[in-house]
Structure 1
Amino acid sequence: MDWLALLDGSGFEFARQVLQRGTAAVALVAFVSSWSQFPALLGERGLLPVRRFLELGYARRQPTIFRWRYSDRMLRACCALGALVAASLVAGLPQLGPPWVPLLAFGVLWALYLSIVTVGQTFYGFGWESLLLESLFVVAFLGSNEVAPPILVLGFVWWLVFRLEFGAGMIKWRGGREWRDLTALMYHHETQPMPNPLSRWAHLLPAWFHRSEVVANFIAQLGVPFLLFAPQPVASVAALVIVGTQAWLVLTGNFAWLNWLTMVLACSAIGDGFLHAVLPAWPAEAAYAPTPVWFQALTTLVFAGLVVLSWQPLRNLFARHQLMNASFNRFHLVNAYGAFGTVTKRRDEVVVEGTEQADPGPGDWVAYEFHGKPGDPARVPRQFAPYHLRLDWLMWFLALGAPDHGWFRAFLVRLLEADPATLRLLRVDPFEGRRPVAVRAKVYRYRFATRRERRETGLWWMREDAGVLVAPIALGARP
């Protein structure tokens, strides 16, 4: 038997097309997000400047092109190049050449985005950053249209989806009691970081439905991932179940590109034969040229290296103190994933207000409005995912009591200065570019309006004053 024939993934052309184009599409969103937000958050006059971060000895040893020099212009050049390469992959252009062309293209995306994430500090400390980096690296070795998809690479993507789903399920099972007593989703739709237009509708569904959601979640995350490694058509059905559960999360929340990329990765297990049976227009087989020996050898070597790196994530899945969203190496390869081990049962929001009065009364304070996080109780939440609103997410963590590490104090100072770059991160600047005399941060407790309250008041949220986080400060004062 020719051992090289075992590496042939014929029968998974649909999977390859979705993986390559879908992962590149998410990367495109990530680079556009960084172009528009990174300078204000982390740039030369950012809230957590990269140059200050790079003064740390630890930072200078990390894999980033900015370790030698950082400028906002250089950052935007990286984002523009990344977006251009990602767009070409979405269009399928590099895939028309030999296998090394898409390999090089995805390698560029991985290296550029790794450079950004490495210096992104708390604003890039999300699990889906590592998920995107790992996906870009692995998908790079799927080859081009002229050769069969390497089965080892597809198999590693199945392992990635398994870690992603099973890890999330184990975090929940080991986490808060609300998961085990099936009540978690009676709260989650209301208290999740960034609700969308359908979140309130989902929250107001009956209790029996929410309990069913939790049961379905455990089945999809603790049972179904094992079936990704089963023969066809079982693996294809398992993939569709994962896609369906992730689609429900897309419909009811804003989790950046986490759910979108998970759906893309899950499609790796959908076979062409299964798809042909459902959609006869898709061919059951595809013809390929012989795969170059150098490419087969390279994919085998990379697969072996990734298997070695899988030992720690595998142990973590069954560890008593399971880590979630953890990277075990500087390159964000073969990571641990998971989210919402506990669900908060109440929603506190930090509302930032300013005034133009030197001696303001209660009616002289007006609120800055963010794009994604709740503010005005009458405003219906918007859909932003897969776009990632980094400042809005950090504001949610701040309301939970997470330390701001200096970024929020710097944010208040930028508002006092009416810094244009910072104000562009917001939906509403109540002073239209003028400097306020003072700003403050208050905490309000939010909950979704009931159907009756909505009819009577027209409000989407009901809220009550929960105190002051930061007392009024003026320019020159320390928050």
Structure 2
Amino acid sequence: MEWFTADVYDLSRLVFQRALAAVYLVAFLGAALQFRPLIGERGMLPVPRYVARVPFRQAPSLFQVHYSDRFFALCAWAGCAVAAALLTGADGQLPLWGAMALWLVPWALYLSVVNVGQTWYGFGWESLLLEVGFLAIFLGNDEVAPPVLVLFLLRWVLFRVEFGAGLIKMRGDACWRRLTCLYFHHETQPMPGPLSRFFHQLPRPAHRIEVAANHVTQLVVPVLLFTPQPVATGAACLMIATQLWLVLSGNFSWLNWLTIVLAVSALDLSAWHTPRSFAPAPLWYEVVVGSVTVALLALSYRPVRNLLSRRQVMNTSFDPLHLVNSYGAFGSVSRVRQEIVIEGTADPVPREDSDWRAYEFKGKPGDVRRWPRQFAPYHLRLDWMMWFAALSPAYARSWFGPLVERLLDGDRDTLRLLHASPFPPDAPPAYIRARLYRYRYTTWRELRETGAHWERTYVRDYLAPTRLSTPARRR
């Protein structure tokens, strides 16, 4: 039926699908490389222990049926392989049903990972990838024109991502209403990027303009997604420009990139590509897409109620399949940056004047002379959780102790998560301590004179010197 399809979005669909496959690839690669020390059989929060107390209906996952590190690795690398195949256009070589089945595979595999990932997978962009990935299953391939209903649902997700983020800011920290949050944000965000200090040191009037522009982009522009072209394309372009600005200013995993991918689906690129003629969509396909649309709109009730609530919550899934979720970011902004520095010593009796050596993380600030790197869209899960742990020990209650134990034991998998360890795996420290420091960017003058990117001030001890009561078996 002509009302069911929109052939002018053929190129938009193609770009969207390839870009989404690239995000899937990054997500599965991170899972494959980081799971053992985080959620593996001997990890900080082991999957077997989790699935023993959480029933399948609350967290559906392949790993509820069977778990081993080897099986998890197989699933993660299989996800990489399927994502790479989709990136190269393998779905276009299959019949419609086959393409849909191929897109179903990474969604099911990543759902299995997220639903046993616990704290390490509690970020909003995990649910966003699953919600968008589920819609991609029904977007079709070269056999049919893009379904209008699925295109609408993709815009509905984009609307909730942006509008939800805008509302949580206006309802949350007063600095968003005063246009002053960016006086602090670029310095205190979870993981600064190489250009973050440049953004932080912009004049204050520029920061106020940034915040005002953000409010317009998140609270006004999303409504324009549901207007006719070319207005909807203009709205999507403004969102893409804003997200690229965020990409330059920090490391937010694939949140910004996936939002850009979503915005691409709203672009009318027919001027760059001659729309093709498609055969009518099969009846079974129309029935499936129509049924899924009705179901997702019904499930949208709770996210919509959340948007309208004064007690709006961010990044919450309302169903175990993560089909329709709430989103948002930075409802509050820290005024100062605090970092936990973990140190070890080989001295048998720890003293203040012992030879304490610091562990260096890949992304989070540590050594004041190290310039931050760009890691996004790759997600350094331990580094991100260390930022939360510095905000409050409550965020780290379940995993910080196990992390320290593994460092004391010289666990090789855990050490691979770090940039540098001052102790080799076969000669771990006798004691470990953790200290809390306040960090701030140095001025340009201080940077020139000292070469230090950060200046830090001791705040308090976070963890007193600790040792293993019984050395664990080397891993």
TM-score w.r.t. structure 2 length? 0.97
Matches within 5 A, 1:170-249: 170-249=167-246
Q: Which residue of 2 aligns with 1:307?
A: 297
- Superposed displacement of residue 453, structure 1: 1.0
**2:159 is aligned with 1:168:** no
SS in 2 for 1:443: strand
**Cα offset, 1:431, TM superposition:** 1.1
Is the Cα–Cα contact under 8 Å of residues 96 and 146 in structure 1 kept in the other structure?
no
Greater CA drift, 351-360 or 283-292: 283-292
Given that residues 95 and 143 in structure 1 are in contact (C-alpha distance below 8 angstroms), is that contact kept between their aligned partners in structure 2?
Answer: no
Residues 447 and 462, structure 1, Cα contact 8 Å, conserved in 2: yes
Counterparts of residues 69-148 of structure 1 (less than 5 Å): 69-148=66-145
User: How many Å separate the matches in 1 of 2:223 and 2:265?
Assistant: 14
> Which SS does the other structure have where 1:331 is aligned?
coil
CA distance in 1, matches of 2:352, 2:311: 50
Count residues in correspondence. Answer: 468
Q: Please show how residues 269-308 of structure 1 align to structure 2 within 5 Å.
A: 269-273=266-270, 276=271, 282-308=272-298
Q: Secondary structure at the match of 2:77?
A: helix
Following superposition, the deviation at residue 57 of structure 1 comes to 4.2
The structure-2 alpha-carbon separation of the partners of 1:322 and 1:88, relative to structure 1 and needing over 3 Å to count, comes to: same
Report the alpha carbon displacement of residue 18 of structure 1 after superposing the two structures with TM: 2.0
Q: Deviations over 1:254-296 (max 9, x none)?
A: 00000000000011110133xx1xxxxx224222222211111
Q: Distance in 2 between matches of 1:477 and 1:321?
A: 47
What is the one-letter code of the residue matched to 1:28? L
CA displacement 1:137-171 (0-9 Å, x = unmatched): 00111101121000100000000000000000000
Counterpart of 2:399 in structure 1: which amino acid? Answer: W
Shift of 1:13: 1.2
Structural mapping, 1:302-341, within 5 Å: 302-341=292-331
Match of 2:450 in 1: 457
Please give the per-residue CA displacement for 1:388-440, whole angstroms capped at 9, x wherever unaligned.
Answer: 00000000000000522321100000000001111111110111222111000
Matching residue of 1:423: 415
The one-letter code sitting in structure 1 at the alignment partner of 2:190 is P
Kindly indicate whether the alpha-carbon contact (under 8 Å) linking 1:48 and 1:407 is maintained by their aligned counterparts in 2.
yes
What's 1:372 paired with? 363
Aligned residue for 2:138, secondary structure, equals helix
Tell me, yes or no, if the aligned pair for 1:53 and 1:59 is still in contact at 8 Å.
no
Cα 1:477/1:443, change in 2 over 3 Å: farther
Q: State the alpha-carbon separation in 1 of the partners of residues 168 and 436 from structure 2.
A: 29
Q: In 1, distance between residues paired with 2:245 and 2:82? A: 31
Looking at structure 1, the residues matched to 362 and 293 of structure 2 have their Cα atoms a distance apart, in angstroms, of 42
* Alpha-carbon distance in 2 for matches of 1:466, 1:138: 47
Q: Residue 433 of structure 2 aligns with which residue?
A: 440
Tell me which amino acid in the other structure corresponds to 1:335: N
| TM-score, length basis structure 1 | 0.96
Report the secondary structure of 1:141's partner residue.
coil
Q: Is the 8 A contact 2:345 2:357 kept in 1?
A: yes
Q: Residues 472 and 59 (structure 1 numbering): CA distance in 2 closer, same or farther, change over 3 Å?
A: farther
* Residue in 1 that maps onto 2:398: 406
Separation of aligned partners in 2, 1:462 and 1:199:
15
Do 2:193 and 2:251's aligned partners in 1 also have CA atoms closer than 8 Å? yes
Q: Assess if the C-alpha contact under 8 Å between 2:410 and 2:424 holds in 1.
A: no
Q: Secondary structure at the residue paired with 2:342?
A: strand
Whole-Å separation in 2 of the counterparts to 1:248 and 1:402 = 32
TM-superposed CA distance for 1:95, in Å, is 2.0
- Deviation track 1:421-476 (CA, whole Å, cap 9, x = no partner) reads 11111110111222111000101100001111111111100001111000001111
Post-superposition offset of 1:59: 5.6
Q: Which amino acid aligns with 2:355?
A: D
What letter is aligned with 1:128? W
> Could you tell me which of 356, 377, 383 is aligned with 2:346?
356
Cα distance in structure 2, aligned partners of 1:99 and 1:335: 28
What does residue 24 of structure 1 align with?
Answer: 21
Structure 2 contact 192–251 (Cα < 8 Å) conserved = yes
Amino acid at match of 1:290: P
CA distance in 2, matches of 1:106, 1:363: 56
Residues of 2 paired with 1:238 and 1:402: CA distance?
A: 41
User: Is the Cα contact below 8 Å between 1:348 and 1:446 reproduced in 2?
Assistant: yes
- The alpha-carbon distance between structure 1 residues 171 and 402, as it changes in their structure 2 partners (threshold 3 A), is farther
SS at match of 1:17: helix
Shift of 1:331: 0.3
Q: Which runs of 5+ in 2 are unaligned?
A: none
Letter of the 2:445 partner, please give it: R
How far apart, CA to CA, are the structure 1 residues paired with 2:58 and 2:219? 38
Structure 1 residue aligned with 2:254: 257
Partner residue in 2 for 1:385? 376
Q: How much does 1:97 deviate?
A: 2.3
1:162-215 per-residue CA deviation (whole Å, 9 max, x = no partner) reads 000000000000011110110001100000000000000100000000000000
Q: Distance in 2 between matches of 1:59 and 1:304?
A: 25
Residues 345 and 354 in structure 2, CA contact (< 8 A), matched pair in contact too: no
- Alignment RMSD, CA only? 1.3
2:3 aligned residue: 6
Query: Which secondary structure does the structure 2 equivalent of 1:62 belong to?
Result: coil
SS at match of 1:47: coil
Return the letter of the residue paired with 1:443.
L
- Find the aligned partners of 2:338 and 2:83 in 1 and give their Cα distance: 38
- For residues 398 and 256 of structure 1, the distance between their equivalents in structure 2, rounded to whole angstroms, comes to 18
